[in-house]
């Protein structure tokens, strides 16, 4: 079966017509030159690179995988050549500032690039996937000296970067991190400790690797507020090997094209990025960028699975479809149409929301008006956890539905669909598990202001054009539920945690309803997807709210009686 091919026409329509991205971005002085033609040209070139250089390595990346020997990792055949072509072609630098060696293009073009790369080859894409976050982190928090040494290398992708957070005892709870960083007379630090699950911790793709490591200084208070961020390269500026050792790579369910490393830091030389004990603050820039990228992985993987299933359904004949007189193609069976149309609605709707988030990132960075920047901040803060959790959930479950289209042929390796299902599973886990995203949305972002920001986001959508009736209704229901949850949380603190997942999915469905109404107008063959959206997807909103209603009813039942007057 053929490899993934980007649907550039559909991507362009979502970006240029449904979102009107060129007009929005051109209103910013930074992107005055970025017109429709330029955007289209970049997308086409990106699509060609992805399809010709990266997609063909998908299968061998899975079957041959990464090899570990004597502390070194050999990447699957072809990976290094493709990566060298990638950075030399300027792709990692697409959205970095020209003064840092970048091309100064909008973040949304980078977002589309990473969606296509993830669809083509998730394992390979893990390597450059953290570059932009590392670049932003260093740009905003690094000292002049560190920037002079590392910023351009990271912007261009000549050197790859890692994000070293997780330790055996510290997963979701980074407050438990134990790695130590001891200050030295020359201003550097000695970093010691063990990090696990580090993507791209060791490899042969680039000549150096820049590790960004969360660690504790000797005078650090306990918990997350005592973490500092350090930069420790594999090779030091004098070309000596630093004390960073890869002890092994994990055997995994999927993603065999990406080495997941145990790294031992043994008195490794590092330098502080940002202020002491404010490491999480510096790291959040990187984690937020990475969360959008993981949402794009979910969308890309679902697209790759859908393309395979769609093509297979056009070839395979079994039984007669209702009303047919002879054996039918399986694409004519309503059961198969339902699967394909449903996943298509999730893909295109997710795209619109992810691309909008990337446009908002540029608004946040470049818009002259503070109120517009505030709206952009609100969008990114609320929609990023939704994209990360809802679209990685759908990436995995939807890819499994696409596997179903193949029957038994999907369960065997031949068609490559089982690899997508295995690879997609981890997106629900890393970069903050989906449970953590749900808590982030409801408990940290929505309830503290009584739902004001979320309400403002729906008001903003209403201000952009008439809202379909169901989006208005969903927005109103979410407001009302938020108010009741805030009230109930006052006497039942655990309640928001029980319903956080339902709340996050309900917000995702409301946003998808809005996105669908925008897309239906611009994609000529979207009728089946629109039908699926209305028939099988959006009714899930009622289910999610019903679950929350029941939880609330149980709590309200248990509420303390009002004090007698």
Ligand X SMILES: Cc1cc2nc3c(=O)[nH]c(=O)nc-3n(C[C@H](O)[C@H](O)[C@H](O)COP(=O)(O)OP(=O)(O)OC[C@H]3O[C@@H](n4cnc5c(N)ncnc54)[C@H](O)[C@@H]3O)c2cc1C
| DSSP letters spanning 128-140 | HHTHHHHHHHHHH
Residue 199 binds to ligand X (criterion: CB under 6 A): yes
303 is annotated as an active-site residue? no
Question: Is the Cβ of residue 134 or residue 339 nearer to ligand X in the bound state?
Answer: 134
Question: Is the Cβ of residue 172 or residue 314 nearer to ligand X in the bound state?
Answer: 172
276 CB-near residues (< 8 Å, 6+ apart): 217, 220, 228
Shortest gap between Cβ of 327 and ligand X (angstroms)? 43
Shortest gap between Cβ of 127 and ligand X (angstroms)? 11
Binding to ligand X in span 124-163, by CB under 6 A = 163
Binding to ligand X in span 236-275, by CB under 6 A = 252, 255, 260
| DSSP letters spanning 422-486 | HHHGGGGTSSS-HHHHHHIIIIIIIGGGTTHHHHHHHHHHHHTSPPPHHHHHHHHHHHHHHHHHH
* Token duo for residue 73: 């990792």
Residue 429 binds to ligand X (criterion: CB under 6 A): yes
Determine which one of 115, 167, 431, 530 is catalytic. 431
Among 39, 43, 164, 304, binds ligand X (CB under 6 A): 164
Shortest gap between Cβ of 287 and ligand X (angstroms)? 9
Shortest gap between Cβ of 182 and ligand X (angstroms)? 21
Contact in structure between 227 and 311 (CB atoms under 8 Å): no
Burial state string for 138-147 with b = 16 or more CB within 10 A and e = fewer than 16: bbebbeeebb
Residue 176 binds to ligand X (criterion: CB under 6 A): no
Strand partners for 260: 199
Among residues 520, 522, 544, which one has the least CA distance to residue 531? 520
* Token duo for residue 431: 């970069």
Question: Is the Cβ of residue 376 or residue 442 nearer to ligand X in the bound state?
Answer: 442
Residue 415 binds to ligand X (criterion: CB under 6 A): no
Among residues 227, 226, 232, 212, which one has the least CA distance to residue 136? 212
Shortest gap between Cβ of 426 and ligand X (angstroms)? 5
- Interacting span for ligand X (CB under 6 A) from 116-124, 227-235, 322-330, 427-435: 427-435
Among 66, 95, 138, 165, binds ligand X (CB under 6 A): 165
Residue 106 backbone class (left: φ over 0; alpha: ψ -120 to 50; beta: rest): beta
Among residues 6, 102, 110, which one has the least CA distance to residue 50? 6
CA 40, CA 46: separation in Å to the nearest integer? 10
Residue 198 binds to ligand X (criterion: CB under 6 A): yes
Residue 493 binds to ligand X (criterion: CB under 6 A): no
Question: Is the Cβ of residue 477 or residue 551 nearer to ligand X in the bound state?
Answer: 551
Question: Is the Cβ of residue 311 or residue 436 nearer to ligand X in the bound state?
Answer: 436
- Interacting span for ligand X (CB under 6 A) from 45-53, 69-77, 195-203, 488-496: 195-203
**Number of residues lying near ligand X (CB under 6 A):** 19
The 3-state DSSP composition of the chain as helix, strand, coil percent (nearest 5) reads 60, 10, 30
Question: Is the Cβ of residue 171 or residue 468 nearer to ligand X in the bound state?
Answer: 171
Shortest gap between Cβ of 338 and ligand X (angstroms)? 30
Binding residues for ligand X (CB under 6 A): 163-166, 171-172, 197-199, 252, 255, 260, 426, 429-430, 433, 435-436, 439
Give the residue numbers annotated as catalytic, written as ranges.
431
């Amino acid at each position: 079966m053929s490899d993934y091919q980007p649907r550039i026409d559909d991507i362009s329509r979502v970006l240029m017509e449904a979102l009107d991205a060129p007009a929005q971005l051109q209103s910013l002085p930074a992107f005055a030159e970025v017109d429709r033609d330029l955007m289209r040209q970049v997308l086409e070139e990106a699509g060609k690179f992805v399809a010709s250089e990266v997609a063909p390595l998908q299968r061998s990346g899975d079957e041959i995988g990464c090899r570990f020997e004597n502390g070194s990792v050999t990447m699957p055949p072809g990976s290094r050549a493709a990566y060298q072509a990638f950075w030399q072609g300027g792709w990692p630098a697409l959205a970095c500032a020209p003064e840092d060696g970048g091309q100064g293009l909008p973040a949304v073009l980078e977002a589309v690039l990473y969606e296509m790369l993830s669809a083509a080859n998730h394992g390979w894409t893990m390597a450059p996937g953290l570059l932009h976050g590392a670049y932003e982190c260093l740009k905003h928090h690094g000292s002049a000296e560190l920037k002079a040494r590392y910023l351009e290398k990271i912007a261009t992708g000549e050197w790859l970067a890692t994000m070293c957070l997780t330790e055996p005892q510290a997963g979701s709870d980074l407050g438990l991190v134990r790695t130590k960083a001891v200050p030295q007379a020359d201003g550097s630090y000695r970093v010691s400790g063990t990090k696990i699950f580090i993507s791209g911790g060791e490899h042969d793709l680039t000549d150096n690797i820049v590790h960004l490591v969360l660690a504790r200084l000797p005078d650090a208070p306990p918990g997350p507020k005592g973490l500092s961020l350090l930069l420790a390269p594999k090779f030091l500026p004098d070309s000596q090997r630093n004390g960073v050792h890869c002890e092994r790579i994990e055997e995994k369910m999927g993603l065999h094209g990406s080495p997941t490393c145990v790294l031992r830091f043994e008195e490794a030389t590092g330098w502080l990025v940002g202020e002491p004990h404010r490491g999480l603050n510096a790291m959040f820039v990187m984690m937020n960028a990475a969360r959008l990228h993981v949402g794009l992985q979910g969308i890309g993987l679902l697209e790759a699975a859908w393309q395979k299933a769609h093509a297979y359904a056009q070839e395979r004949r079994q039984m007669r479809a209702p009303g047919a007189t002879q054996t039918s193609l399986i694409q004519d069976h309503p059961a198969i149409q339902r699967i394909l149309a449903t996943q298509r609605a999730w893909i295109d709707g997710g795209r619109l929301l992810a691309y909008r988030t990337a446009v908002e990132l540029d608004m946040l960075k470049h818009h002259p008006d503070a109120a517009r920047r505030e709206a952009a901040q609100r969008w990114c803060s609320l929609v990023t956890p939704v994209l990360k959790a809802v679209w990685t959930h759908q990436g995995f479950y939807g890819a499994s539905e696409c596997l179903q289209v193949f029957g038994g042929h999907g369960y065997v390796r031949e068609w490559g669909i089982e690899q997508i299902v295995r690879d997609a599973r981890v997106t629900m886990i890393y970069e903050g598990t989906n449970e953590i995203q749900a808590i982030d949305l409801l408990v940290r972002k929505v309830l503290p202001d009584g739902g004001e920001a979320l309400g403002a986001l729906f008001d903003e959508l209403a201000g952009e054009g008439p809202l379909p009736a169901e989006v208005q209704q969903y927005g109103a229901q979410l407001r009302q539920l938020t108010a009741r949850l805030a009230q109930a949380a006052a006497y039942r603190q655990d309640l928001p945690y029980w319903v956080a997942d339902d709340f996050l999915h309900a917000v995702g469905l409301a946003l998808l309803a809005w996105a669908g109404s925008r897309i239906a107008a611009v994609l000529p063959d979207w009728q089946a997807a629109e039908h699926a959206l209305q028939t099988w997807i959006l009714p899930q909103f009622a289910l999610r709210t019903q679950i929350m209603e029941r939880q609330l009813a149980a709590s309200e039942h248990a509420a303390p009686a009002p004090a007698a007057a």
